[in-house]
Structure 1
Amino acid sequence: MKFEHLQGLIAAPFTPMDNNGGINTTIIPAYYKFLKQNGNTGAFICGSTGEGVSLTIEEKKHITDVWAKCTVSDKDFKVMLLVGGNTLADCIELAKHAQKAGIYAVSFTSPSYFKPANVAVLAQMCRQIAAAVPGIPFYYYHIPVLTNVGFPMIDLLNAVNDVPNFAGIKYTHEDFMDFLSCSTFQNGQYDMLWGRDENMLPALAVGAKGAVGSTFNYAAPLYYDLINAFENNDLEKAQQLQQKSVDMIRLLGKYGGISVGKAYMKLVGIDCGEFRLPVSNMTQEQFENFKLDVSKLGFDEFKSNLQPQVSIK
């Protein structure tokens, strides 16, 4: 079974929350239009950026249904659902729900509490989830900085070579040797999606064609300019644009981590609320200081734009 190799920027959307910390799916249709209008070719929902580990299975099902409903007629915009990692039965249940809803693909990441002892165990889990949804692509999500499971992905590809709908890997790690080996494995059979926005340029150099990232939500034009500069052999410009990305991402570390992404979203006109505990959110004072730092980046020059026909409240 051969699946399409995805290209371009696939955003990892934030899960919108209301003032009480409940999910606010009413803005998702407009959120989708916003991503589409800024060049994103898909959405990787309920992942790290989407607080998947902090959502109930029923909330994930509802989010999946809303994304599916508003994108069902858009074959050029691919939605992928991260089904989770720690509870195999829940992963299978969510994968089946995603397939029924019409989602393009599902993804799975390693358990992070009881961890697989070796690649063979991890492959066995992938095999069981993929077998439950044989008609759609299955991706593994490699993010060892969060799972603390860092097996070489080339070993995983060798172990799942008998899984017909294993389509590829969302690769959120810095091992370019392993990424290249996976990209060229069996004449490029598998779709390798890059997952480190701050390392986009070196990923392009080793052959990345598609990427999944949180900053594509609010700075997609920056990365398309970077890609264009690379493809036109203007490496100096590509380096400068990558540095802008690095400077932008460094503010996440300065102001508290992953939750800062929702602060960036407010600056492009989309209020996704706050992150759930245990993630900390900015104080109002920190947000004001953050806005000053963002202005120094020249953010308005490369941010994603909320076009007039999109209304997000």
Structure 2
Amino acid sequence: MRSEHLKGLIAAPFTPMHKDSSLNTSLIPQYYEMLKANGVTGAFICGSTGEGVAMTMAEKKAVAKAWADATKADDDFKVMLFLGGTSIADCKELALHAKQSGLYAISFTAPFYFKPANAAMLAAACAEVAGAVPGMPFYYYHIPVLTGVNIAMYDLLEEIDGKIPNFAGIKYTHEDFMDFLSCMRFQNGKYDMLWGRDENMLSALVLGTKGAVGSTFNYAAPLYYNLIDAFNNNDLEKARTLQQQSIDMIRLLGKYGGIATGKAYMKLINMDCGEFRLPVKNMTTAEFELFKKDVAAIGFDRFASVGTAAHKA
């Protein structure tokens, strides 16, 4: 099986929550329409941005079903479900649900409590999960900053090649450009390598990436498509300027507490996804007012995603 190599921006959606932190799946159809209106080509659901590790099995199934229902008439919009990684049995159950719901692909990361000792053991875990849904594209999610498993992905590809027929590729959320390029060129580009660091997209474009998965694509997709166009037109100075705008935007994530700041950005495009669950820190009302001033200072309105009326910070 040689799966499709995905192109364009694939958003990592936030999971919409009510004020009491329960799921708000009713927002997902509108969410999909907003992403589609901004040229986003797919969704990587229940990942880090989507708080998958903070959700129950039943909740992840409900989110997967809501995205499947919202996108069922759109074969061009690819939805892949992040399964998790700690419990292999749970991952297999969720993979079967994803296939039955009609999602495009699944993704799995390294077990991060009992960690695999080497690439061979990680490959064995991948094979176990991928084998539950033969014929369905399976992506490994490489994010060592969160899993603590920093095995070279080139070594993983060597271990799995020819052994996992539905292994489609890797969502690569790391800064090892040497390893990333080697994976892109492995077996003449056999595997789909999706870039996962929005603040380093320009460097990945230089290496030849065609598809990327990112959280900031939810609320700033035009910025990245302009960056891609500038790179393709060999206007590198413009591309560097746009990448710096991305960096300035992402720096505010750190300033205001981390990943939950992304949901604050979503409020500025009138897509209120609620707050993050514990133990992630959310902004206070006072912090949000200061955040809006910082957002205005970087010119967010000039490159924010559209589809809902942008808030004028």
TM-score interval (norm. to shorter): over 0.9
Aligned-pair identity (%): 68
1:263-289 C-alpha deviation (Å, 9 max, x unpaired): 000001100000000001000000000
Instruction: Give the distance between the partners of 1:18 and 1:298, measured in 2 at CA.
Output: 29
Aligned to 1:262: 263
Q: Indicate the SS of the match to 1:274.
A: coil
Does the CA-based 8 Å contact 1:138-1:166 persist in structure 2?
A: yes
Kept after mapping to 2: 8 A contact 1:269/1:306 = no
Contact 1:106/1:139 (<8 A) preserved: yes
Q: Distance in 2 between matches of 1:43 and 1:237?
A: 27
Alpha-carbon distance in structure 1 between the residues aligned to 2:21 and 2:308: 27
Paired positions, count? 308
For 1:129 and 1:87, how far apart are their aligned partners in 2? Answer: 10
**TM-score, with length taken from structure 2:** 0.98
**1:204-246 deviation per Cα after TM superposition (whole angstroms, max 9, x unaligned):** 0001100000000000000000000000000000000000000
Q: Which residue does the alignment assign to 2:33?
A: 33
Question: Hey, what does 1:67 align to over in structure 2?
Answer: 67
Q: What's 2:211 paired with? A: 210
The gaps in structure 2 that reach 5 residues or longer are: none
Alignment match, 2:287: 286
Tell me the secondary structure at the aligned position of residue 279 of structure 2. coil
AA aligned opposite 1:82: F
TM-score (norm: length of structure 1): 0.98
Aligned to 2:157: 157
Amino acid at match of 1:34: M
* C-alpha separation in 2, matches of 1:306 and 1:231: 26
Q: Which runs of 4+ in 1 moved over 6 A?
A: none
Name the residue aligned to 1:111.
Answer: 111
- Tell me how far apart the structure 1 counterparts of residues 194 and 50 of structure 2 sit (CA, whole Å): 18
**1:147-192, Cα deviation, whole Å (9 max, x unpaired):** 0100000000011111100000000000000000000000000000
Aligned residue for 1:98?
A: 98
**In the alignment, is residue 17 of structure 1 matched against residue 39 of structure 2?**
no
Q: How does 1:226-237 map to 2 (within 5 A)?
A: 226-237=227-238
Give the Cα separation in 2 of the matches to 1:267 and 1:31: 14
Tell me the CA shift for residue 307 of structure 1: 4.3
- The alignment yields a C-alpha RMSD, in angstroms, of 0.6
Secondary structure of the corresponding residue to residue 127 of structure 1: helix
> Which residue does 1:184 correspond to in 2?
185
The CA deviation at 1:73 is 1.2
Q: Secondary structure at the match of 2:125?
A: helix
For residue 168 of structure 2, what is the aligned residue in structure 1?
167
- Preserved CA contact (<8 Å) 1:119 1:155: yes
3-state SS of 1:141 partner: strand
> One-letter code of the match for 2:268?
L
Q: Cα offset for 1:111?
A: 1.2
Matches of 1:129 and 1:147, distance apart in 2: 18
| 2:271 partner amino acid | I
Question: Equivalents in 2 of 1:112, 1:307: separation in Å?
Answer: 38
Query: What residue ranges of structure 1 are gaps of 5+ in the alignment?
Result: 309-313
> Which secondary structure state, in structure 2, belongs to the residue aligned with residue 140 of structure 1?
strand
Q: 2:195: which partner in 1?
A: 194
Find the residue that maps to 2:204 and give its secondary structure: helix
Counterpart in the other structure of 1:311: none
1:116 and 1:189 mapped to 2: Cα distance? 25
CA deviation map 1:101-152 (0-9, x unaligned): 0000000001111111111111001001111000210000000000010000
- SS of residue matched to 2:86: coil
Give, as a single letter, the amino acid of the residue that structure 2 aligns with 1:290: F
Shift of 1:306: 2.4
1:251 aligns with 2:278: no
